[in-house]
Structure 1
Amino acid sequence: MVMAEHPDCALVRRGYELFNKGDMETLATMMTRDCAHHVPGSNPLSGHHKGIDNVMALYRRMGEMTQGNMRGELEGLFADGRGHVMSVHRNVAERDGRGYNQRGGIFFTIVGGKISDLDECVEDIDLEDEFWS
């Protein structure tokens, strides 16, 4: 029996598709104005990016730093039915001749059918810092 995907998971899945296509304009419409993306590590992208303009600036910067080749390859989504989704993905990119391939995940909070918070975790923080520094 095939079960329908939870609407919160469908929202996050669509967000990954838009990010990978570079469609930041549509992606921004799926987020609250006061959304926040929390990036781990100690590198130029690390920190708490608060507000839709700052989150979109983060994504544009990732695109610029990787010349648009960064991809989040979604491996799985898990919903709790109370406005939270966990994603597991593999980030793949190249920057300045260096490859990047690492698993990670994001804990999403969904409010009113929009993404309001993204709390990111990575498998190897040192690798994350090395790639983005």
Structure 2
Amino acid sequence: MAEHPDAAVVRKGYEAFSTGDMETLRSLMTADCTHHSPGDSRMSGHFKGADNVLGHYGQLMELTGGTFRIETKGIYPDGRGHVMSVHKWHADRGDRGIEMEGGLFFTIVGGKVTDIDECVADIDEADAFWEQQTD
């Protein structure tokens, strides 16, 4: 049985993220794609536009010295332009490490991602790991 096209887009996105292939990631998003990250930390907020979304992903890597990684557990399309993914993310930051379950809820239009809503198992723990933005 063939994979649903929307699930294939998300799977390709996870693969590109995992290999640092930002060109492929960009090709999977609309120009005005938005990523919504939960919580109240330097990594929380609404990142609108492909450049800002990719910048957000770059900051994940920068803040963790390149240790941020995702282990995909499942990708589930609804056949109506939405895909839910479940994963575990791992990262080290300074003397602190984190491993947490999470997921993304994608909206896909015309074969491209338009919106990504992120969920994490423990928002407070994620906030503590990322810390507040310092100005």
- Give 1:32 shift: 0.3
In structure 1, list runs of 5 or more residues that go unmatched. none
Structure 2 match to 1:85 = 83
1:42 aligns with 2:37: no
Identity %: 59
1:54 is aligned to 52
Summarize deviations over 1:53-91 as a string: whole Å, max 9, x none.
110110111110011111111100111101100000001
After TM superposition, what 4+ stretches of structure 1 lie above 2 angstroms from structure 2? none
Partner of 2:23: 25
Alignment partner of 1:9 is 2:7: yes
Q: After superposition, give the CA deviation of every residue in 1:15-65 in whole Å (9 maximum; x if it has no partner).
A: 111111111122111100000000000000101100111101101111100
| TM value normalised by structure 2 | 0.94
1:108 is matched with: 106
> Does the CA-based 8 Å contact 1:40-1:120 persist in structure 2?
yes
* 1:39–1:48 Cα contact (<8 Å) kept: yes
Whole-Å separation in 1 of the counterparts to 2:14 and 2:28: 11
* Structure 1 contact 20–70 (Cα < 8 Å) conserved: no
Amino acid at match of 1:79: P
Alignment-mate amino acid for residue 42 of structure 1? D
Tell me the SS of whatever aligns to 1:14: helix
Q: CA deviation at 1:97?
A: 2.2
Task: Give the letter aligned to residue 63 of structure 2.
Answer: M
5+ long unaligned stretches in structure 2: none
How many residues are matched? 131
| Cα RMSD after superposing both structures | 0.8
> In structure 1, what is the equivalent of residue 115 of structure 2?
117
